[in-house]
Structure 1
Amino acid sequence: MTEKFKVLVYGTGFAGTGHAEAFRAAGAEVVGMVGRNKAVVEEVAQKLGIPYAGTDWAAALETCAPDIVSIATPGGAHYDPIKLAIAQGCHVFCDKPMTTSGSTARELHALAQDKGVKTAFAASFRYTASVQHARRLVAEGAIGEPTEVECISHFNLEREIPFGWSHRVEDGGGRLNNNFTHTLSIVTAVVGDRITRIAGDVRDDLLRAPIVEGVHNFATRRDFIPRVLDDPKLQWGDSNVEWSYTVMAQIDSGLAERPVSVLFKHGGLVPRFHEDHIVFYGTKGAIYLEGHYGSGQLHFYGEDKTWTALPLPDDIAAAIPDVAGETEQCWHVLARDFVGDIRGDVVDPYPTFAEGSQYQQIIDLIRTSDTWADVSELT
């Protein structure tokens, strides 16, 4: 019989529910769930049919004795639970960001290696069908040698979204942690993962947000936007993270003789005029993916010098998990490969704590914004 691995989930919101369903679809048994609020974790666990619900992570590890833990909380709550799980010999599936700093992410990666446990890092939008299609075309030489990549997105997020973890660097907030991690993973999945150079700049153009009680699920936070923003009784919290970024990178690709240049441009609070997109340019053509994570229609520019919308190959379309939501579909693919790898199956390479640690160190470097050259005195 195929071994059924036991999974303990840490987190009760959108990601916690999504991770639990993804591991069940992968054939694992979700034996427990842990959250901060006793009433909430018990309610969510009962709704999902999870037998154990608690608020003490160490006690849950001892009681549930999981083979795998799924970390589905904001990034600021990742370090201690992951460290405890690794010490107990659990394999770890962790949502992005891995932690709140490059040093702690590097430490956890080293601990996992020393303990011999497997890890998965859910910068997982690389698994959308259009990105998989682009990866195949680039590998087949459809655009020749890749030369540059352009990732452009504008989210136009409401400035009045209630103050919470996404506004605080110490809690894993910021657009680099929660957007750049996905686009970087997409680019490396398609052209190669040896990132050699990085430069960037960030901007906090939000500054503050209203403090509202009762927000639990990240996916429904907009429902709590105050109707009266000039109410003198309304309290405000100060943002200390970036809401926009511009990053340039160079990546050594096995498909090209020279490094691939990459531009990542994201505005979290500004409106879009044209479609968000990801474009892969090469010496013989280009691939344009609609959408901020490239999950929309794929367009190909080839020898005929025209852009053509290409249909999704049948095998890629058939492999899309039968669940609602792109985020959930991507979690399902990663959980399936992770469980398969633990079981000893042959699976495609997937992002691990190696990438999580590298990405967190890169984010630290970008946030210093010290790559500027002062030209104010040039004549």
Structure 2
Amino acid sequence: MAGRLRSGIIGTGFMGEVHAHAVRAAGGTVSAVAGRTTAGAERAAPALGALHPAASPEALIERDDVDVVHICTPNATHARYAKMAIAAGKAVICEKPLATSAHDAAELADLAHRQGTVAAVPFVYRFYPAVREARALVARGDAGRLWLLHGSYLQDWLADGDATNWRVDPAAGGASRAFGDIGVHWCDLMEFVTGQRITRLVASTSQAFAERGGDGASFPVATEDGAAVLFETDQGATGSVVVSQVSPGRKNQLWFSFDGTEASLSFDQEQPDTLWVGRTDAASRIAVGPDTLATEGGRRYARLPAGHPQGYQDSFNAFVADVYEAVRGDAPDGLPTFADGLRAAQLTQALVASAREGAWVSVPTHDRISTII
């Protein structure tokens, strides 16, 4: 598909704005926006730079001036809208989780595969230059054999016991909140950078607050505020990740350390302009820039000179640009697809089962989508 791509965004909140900015940065046009109501779409259209408000998500999907459908709605609606968009012949970018069950995620991944649809999930932390540099260094053997993979993803947006939103409700957000929302980002990044896949895990989940909501409208919380996970991989490594949405002062700290026999590689999303490389004789912080990174994988996404940090929106812009290149017929390396959304759903399902049973749980590692539905 040549020319300027036209996008429709379903969802008028924070993520809708992020997607709209990325569409424009990729040279696309936001043709239409849809919300829960027509009035909501009309209010959001100017802020998102959309040419038209749509009467409903269904109406947006059917529009002739929409080539790519961006789904930025509560989790429980993702599968339905994604299935409709694929059936309408549209490319799809669907926020994670792809679906609130692994079965539904598998159906969507298989449908997109059979239809040949460009269908992507925004695992955008893959698009930080430092992350791509780490991946390339691991691939060429600089770290030696990776044997210990550990880190955390910490936020504080629910640190107030009165704070809540739709994600806290399992009917809208799914059975797992903290892990399903942010823990899967860490796991995707670990598997992407290291090339290793989690084969089994054991998890413990916890709550900072048994109830949420103030002013006499409190309600019991059914999903986790945090989780601690131990895992093993298909290449013999062990690892751990701690996830929390109730860690005061941590705004969005995704941190990892991937430790090998020759070197350790560490990245902190709150300080995205450096990659830490540790060896027994020295440790260094590599500044992110097209002239300072050593690999083509890292340099490809380093748009600014070293000392000019690129952040979350820059990575999101790069993700959407790669999706649009795929729609035009190219095949960008490392594009997260519905198969990766399925992988996240499988990990979430395993975490929920492990926390419930207090036992190790195996995670599927199938390469072919059709074998798992």
Query: What band does the TM-score fall into relative to the shorter chain?
Result: 0.7 to 0.9
Is the contact between residue 76 and residue 99 of structure 2 (CA under 8 Å) also seen in structure 1? yes
Q: Shift of residue 134 of structure 1? A: 1.7
Q: C-alpha distance in 2, partners of 1:23/1:67?
A: 12
Q: Shift of residue 12 of structure 1? A: 0.7
2:242 to 241, 265, 276: 265
Q: Shift of residue 27 of structure 1? A: 2.3
Q: C-alpha distance in 2, partners of 1:7/1:20?
A: 9
Change (3 A) 1:21 1:64: farther
Aligned to 1:137: 137
Is the contact between residue 149 and residue 260 of structure 1 (CA under 8 Å) also seen in structure 2? yes
Change (3 A) 1:142 1:80: same
Is the contact between residue 8 and residue 64 of structure 1 (CA under 8 Å) also seen in structure 2? no
Normalised by the length of structure 2, the TM-score is: 0.83
Cα deviation digits, residues 348-379 of structure 1 (max 9, x gap): 121111111121122012112255369xxxxx
Aligned to 2:80: 80
Cα deviation digits, residues 188-215 of structure 1 (max 9, x gap): 12101533223222223322222xxxxx
Change (3 A) 1:78 1:261: same
2:183 to 172, 177, 180: 180
Q: C-alpha distance in 1, partners of 2:155/2:121?
A: 24
Is the contact between residue 120 and residue 335 of structure 2 (CA under 8 Å) also seen in structure 1? yes
Unpaired segments ≥5 residues, structure 1: 211-228, 253-257, 375-379
**Larger deviation: 241-250 or 7-16?**
241-250
Task: Please state whether the residue corresponding to 2:63 is helix, strand or coil.
Answer: helix
Q: C-alpha distance in 1, partners of 2:249/2:70?
A: 35
In the comparison of the two structures, how many residue pairs are matched?
345
Cα deviation digits, residues 149-206 of structure 1 (max 9, x gap): 1112443442235332121222226111211121111111210153322322222332
Change (3 A) 1:74 1:32: same
Q: Shift of residue 324 of structure 1? A: 9.6
Task: Please state whether the residue corresponding to 1:314 is helix, strand or coil.
Answer: coil
Q: C-alpha distance in 1, partners of 2:103/2:244?
A: 27
Match of 1:112, as an amino acid?
A: A
Q: Shift of residue 41 of structure 1? A: 1.8
Change (3 A) 1:338 1:153: closer
- State the identity as a percent: 26
Q: Shift of residue 318 of structure 1? A: 7.7
Match of 1:326, as an amino acid?
A: G
Q: C-alpha distance in 1, partners of 2:77/2:331?
A: 32
Task: Please state whether the residue corresponding to 2:344 is helix, strand or coil.
Answer: helix
Q: C-alpha distance in 1, partners of 2:299/2:113?
A: 35
Aligned to 1:372: 358
Unpaired segments ≥5 residues, structure 2: 292-297, 361-373
CA RMSD of the aligned region, Å?
2.7
Q: C-alpha distance in 2, partners of 1:345/1:153?
A: 32
Aligned to 1:343: 328
1:331 to 306, 311, 316: 316
Is the contact between residue 201 and residue 367 of structure 1 (CA under 8 Å) also seen in structure 2? no
Is the contact between residue 12 and residue 41 of structure 2 (CA under 8 Å) also seen in structure 1? yes
Q: Which protein is bigger by CA-based radius of gyration?
A: 1
Cα deviation digits, residues 49-77 of structure 1 (max 9, x gap): 31221241222222345221111112122
Note the 1:216-231 alignment, pairs <5 A. 229=214, 231=215
1:250 to 213, 228, 232: 232
Matched, 1:195 2:198: yes
Aligned to 1:18: 18
Note the 1:1-379 alignment, pairs <5 A. 2-156=2-156, 157-172=158-173, 174-210=177-213, 229=214, 231=215, 234-252=216-234, 258-271=235-248, 277-291=255-269, 295=272, 297-304=274-281, 306-314=282-290, 316=298, 319-320=301-302, 326-368=311-353, 369-370=355-356, 372=358
Task: Please state whether the residue corresponding to 2:107 is helix, strand or coil.
Answer: helix
Aligned to 2:294: none
Is the contact between residue 211 and residue 218 of structure 2 (CA under 8 Å) also seen in structure 1? yes
Change (3 A) 1:193 1:108: farther
Q: C-alpha distance in 2, partners of 1:243/1:299?
A: 29
Q: Shift of residue 79 of structure 1? A: 1.7
Is the contact between residue 273 and residue 288 of structure 2 (CA under 8 Å) also seen in structure 1? no
Task: Please state whether the residue corresponding to 1:136 is helix, strand or coil.
Answer: helix
**Larger deviation: 42-51 or 75-84?**
42-51
Task: Please state whether the residue corresponding to 1:19 is helix, strand or coil.
Answer: helix
Change (3 A) 1:160 1:324: farther
Cα deviation digits, residues 266-311 of structure 1 (max 9, x gap): 23224479x873101001121222347x73632221241x332222
Change (3 A) 1:109 1:286: same
Change (3 A) 1:299 1:47: closer
